[in-house]
Every structure is written in C-alpha cells, then in structure tokens.
Copies of this chain bind each other. A is one copy, B any other.
Amino acid sequence: MKGNISVQFSRSVVSNSLQPHEPQHARPPHPSPTPGILSNTWFDCVLPGDTGPQEMVPSRKNVVLVDGVILNGPTTDAKAGERFVEDACRLIMEEVILKATDIREKVCEWRPPEELKRLLDLELRDAGEPHHRLLERCQDIIRYSVKTNHPRFFNQLYAGLDYYSLVARFMTEALNPSVYTYEVSPVFLLVEEAVLKKMIEFIGWKEGDGIFNPGGSVSNMYAMNLARYKYCPDIKEKGLSGLPRLILFTSAECHYSMKKSASFLGIGTENVCFDPEARPGRSPFLVCATSGTTVLGAFDPLDEIADICERHGLWLHVDASWGGSALMSRKHCRLLQGIHRADSVAWNPHKMLMAGIQCCAFLVKDKSDLLKRCYSANASYLFQQDKFYDVSYDTGDKSIQCSRRPDAFKFWMAWKALGTLGLEERVNRALALSRYLVEEIKKREGFKLLMEPEYANICFWYIPPSLRQMEEGPEFWAKLHLVAPAIKERMMKKGSLMLGYQPHRGKVNFFRQVVISPQVSREDMDFLLDEIDLLGRDM
C-alpha cells in the first residue's frame, strides 16, 4: 500500500476508506499467504519531526507516518457516512416499513437462484463502490427479499412487524453492544434480568434463572446439557466416555433440534427415545415435553409428564419455543397447564410475540447457580474478580457464547409499549383468527382440515376439483400429495401469499397456515382460501 496515500492533510485525500478506489498500481491478486509477496519488514517507523508539511495545517500536530500510513486524525469521512445512513434509512422506511401493511404489494418476487445471482452481482472485488451504487443495491436486496412483514406471509412461525421491537433492534445495531459484563453492557444486562424475571413469573416459578440465546434449538441444547450436569456434574470435566449410556425421553412430535442436540452433545441420536419403555443398562436423565409443536401446534400434557418425572427423579424440560407465548393470555395459558413444574423452559418471544429474530429465552427453575456452575469458564480477561462493582452482574459466563447480542431488549421494548394486556390481546386475536379460519375451512368445498387445532397452526388439504369425487384410497392420496407443492410453486411465482406445506407422519403434503400478526385480519383469511382455490382449481 505504500505510495497509495500521500502525505497531505486534506480529509478527502486521507479518507479514501469512504470512497470508491481503484488500485493505484498493478497488484497481485489477494492470495493465500505466501512469503514472496510480503514485505520483509514488520513496520517501518517514521516518527514525528522528519516528515510532513506542518505549515500547511498549522493547527494539526506533526504528521505521523508509520509504515506508509498517516496516523493523524480519523480516516473515515463521517459526514459522508452519516448521509449514507440517512439515505438508507429513508429507503428502508419507504420500501420495507411503509409497505409492510400494504396487501397490494407482493409477498415475494421470485427468481430462481442462478437468475438472482446475475441480477444482484454479489461478487466482492478489490475496489469499493460509491454510495449511489450501494443504495441501488440496497433497493435490489429489498426487492428480491421475501417480505416476512407482509400481512400475507404465513410461511413460518414468525411474521409481521412490531414497531417497538424494531426500534429496539435499530438501537441495538447502532450501539453494537455485547452482553457479558456489566462494565460493557450495563443497561442491557439489567434489561435481560428484568425480562427473565417477568417470564419466570408467567411460567409460575417463584424464582429462577435464565439466559437469552440464539434460538430455540440452542435453548434445547442448554437444557440437555444442564440436565446432564445436574445428573452427573463430573461430565463437565471428564466427559461421557466410559459412562453408561444416557438416554432422554421425548415425543415423536418434538422439534428436530432434540436430535441435533443429542448428536452435538455427544449423547447420540439413538438415545433420544420416543417411547417410555425402560431400557436396561441405560441411564435416563431427561424428559423433554413440547408446548406447541412445530407442524401441528400440539401441546403435551405437562401435568401428566411432570408426575412421571417426579416419580423417577428426571429433569423436565419444556420446549415452549412456539407455544410459550400462550402464557401471556389468561384465556389460553391453560394449554401449558403444569408448566410451573418444569425444571427448564425454552420460550421464543420472536415467534408469536413478534420480538424479531432472534429472541429466545432459556429459563431454569434452579436458583442455586446451577446454570453458572455448569457453563462457567472464568475467563480472567472478562470476568475479573477485582472489579470495583458487584461482579454478580457479569452474567456472561452462564453462556456458551462469548459475544452475545442483547436479545431481551427488543422484547422488553414491545412489552413496555403494549403492556401485558396488549401482548395478551395479540395472542387472543391470533387464536381467534385461527378459529375463524378453521370454521371457514369446514364450510368450504375442496378444503379439508387435518385436525382440530389447539393453537395457531391450521393444517389442511386443498382438494382440487378433479379429486373431489375420487375415493380416498392410495391413488387419491398419491395425487393429493402433489397438489400442495404445485400450488406453492404457483403462489411463489405470483407472489400473492406464502404459506408452508409438508408431509407429516403418514399424512401426505398438506398446508400449514400460521396466524400471528395483528396486521392480519379475517379478510386475509378469506383471501388465503380464495387464492388457494384460484391457484389450484384447474388441477
């Protein structure tokens, strides 16, 4: 880079990091490190006094050049950067936020992978690009991204736009904190404490502990490892080798992260048992119940399961990643009847409560610092014990992560804004809309409900006219299996709505409709059924 920066003071010359620049000289491609292209000196220091036309800008101190780099003053052009952020914010406001409630917009503008690659020019090059070009790129990226905020996006267990959590998320990005020590994240650690406390109250525990982490799957891993640590604390140091096989019980409807967790934690997927038979020579240590299964939205009977766990001294973990939000509703919290008897709970406010991806709490009933004992590694550069404040607030050592995002904050902001009552109302309305859809499905020709839903997952088949008279035998099901994927393709290419489909436990492909957002209304439910019929009636 020598010779690339001249010894001048003007900000515009020094600050090429905010301007597109071309290589000033033929340069070798950026390769893997090989000695040939490297300079042999570590640093060539040219220290104050021997360079720099100080007279040009008398207010500056001496120019300092080290290794050909001018070290005086910042090299970013803050004004240009701020303008860029402002322009981009305007674009985001117009193209994402204002359109988030507009049903006339497309949910997605489908392009196949190869075509989209051509359209977006994703390649990274030596030279940078000017702001106007970057803003065009931002526009393209928004254009071809799926609008998960759209009132007709029903594809996943999250949807819609919550203005409050969005503001919290913007703040988080601007402040760029990492939540491990009080000295670096005082506000966000206290916010996390306050949110966990409240969630613990809703679970019905008198006290507890917890940590926000990147996903329900990770929460389930936390639970599995914590239960194992409780069962045999030596495993932390000694590992599983030489021990009898650990097994855990869950239902076949559990989330796939149970198997991922068992594999990752060295327990092995074979030791995730779906039937409660005793297995001689194996050591059960954990039962995982699910409150709100991913596909069907089903709830395990927690009280019954808790009875069994108590009888056998087993840790009860409840994966309420999806269903936990029903706890906010006095009407629907009985779906989780008995959850206060769990030892740990996973609950993701980024789903039904719209806190933004990701916002996932792992909660523990234990208050004897089990979580910390299990996870701590006591890094001396972060968790110094001779700090001048109460280091019990340095909670980062409870985490499997080092850097950690302040995910509790976005939920806190929405809760502050809406109050418990506002959150409750959201849950009640989503479930009322679900019920409305169910009744419509029952009434409409060509729609067939898979089962009565317990929650906001409505699973149904669309039976096109050509199959309506057919007997429900193997041929019927084989043909029906092809219908949902074909309609989904048309739906994506049209961009009019998005909902998921899947086969499940011997049932052929069916649609799964998920209702979450208060931007959604019964008109969207009607539209959904009309549109599926429109897309599929010639099949």
Contacts and interface: CB of A to CB of B under 8 A. Distances in A.
A180 to B, nearest CB: 9
Interface stretch (A158-166, A307-315, A462-470): A158-166
Interface string A509-534: 10010000011111101000000000
Interface string A139-160: 0011011111101000110100
Given A89-B170, A340-B32, A176 B379 contact: no
Interface string A92-115: 110011101100000010111100
Interface in A326-344: 327-328, 330-331, 333-340
A69 B409 CA distance: 29
Given A33-B337, A237-B269, A245-B242, A166 B173 contact: yes
Interface string A226-260: 00100000011111111111100000000111011
Contacts of A176: 148-149, 158, 161, 356-357
B76 A401 contact: no
Given A33-B204, A357-B176, A218 B401 contact: yes
Given A171-B141, A255-B402, A425-B1, A512 B381 contact: yes
Number of copies of this protein chain within its complex: 2
Interface residues of A, number: 226
A285 to B, nearest CB: 12
A185 to B, nearest CB: 7
Contact of A422 (B17, B27, B28, B32): B17
Contacts of A263: 235-237
Interface in A175-219: 175-178, 182-188, 190-191, 193-195, 198, 201-205, 214-218
A390 interface: yes
Interface in A27-75: 27-28, 30-33, 35, 37-39, 42-43, 45, 47, 61, 64, 66-69, 71-75
A317 interface: no
A377 interface: yes
Contact of A45 (B124, B173, B439): B439
A429 B17 CA distance: 11
Interface in A312-371: 327-328, 330-331, 333-340, 350, 356-358
A93 B93 CA distance: 14
Contacts of A241: 240-246, 268
Nearest to A386: B485
A173 B356 contact: yes
A221 B16 contact: no
B237 A146 contact: no
A279 interface: no
Given A215-B401, A337-B35, A521-B73, A85 B93 contact: yes
Contacts of A245: 239, 241-242
Contacts of A111: 186
A129 B416 contact: yes
A71 B485 contact: no
A268 B375 contact: no
B76 A187 contact: no
A184 B267 CA distance: 32
Contacts of A21: 419, 421-422
A450 interface: no
A445 interface: no
Contacts of A498: 183-184
Contacts of A333: 32-33, 38
B381 A294 contact: yes
A112 B1 CA distance: 46
Contacts of A145: 175, 177, 185-188
A433 interface: yes
A128 B422 contact: yes
A147 B380 CA distance: 23
Contact of A357 (B403, B432, B485): B403
A357 B260 contact: no
B266 A387 contact: no
With most chain B CB atoms within 10 A of its CB, the pick from A328, A400, A500 is A400
23 contacts: A32-B204, A35-B337, A43-B435, A67-B428, A72-B521, A74-B519, A128-B417, A138-B167, A144-B186, A145-B188, A146-B185, A147-B175, A148-B175, A148-B184, A183-B492, A221-B400, A239-B246, A239-B271, A241-B268, A294-B379, A384-B501, A386-B485, A386-B509
The 7 A-B residue pairs whose C-beta atoms are closest, nearest first, are A32-B204, A239-B268, A266-B266, A81-B163, A128-B419, A71-B522, A122-B194
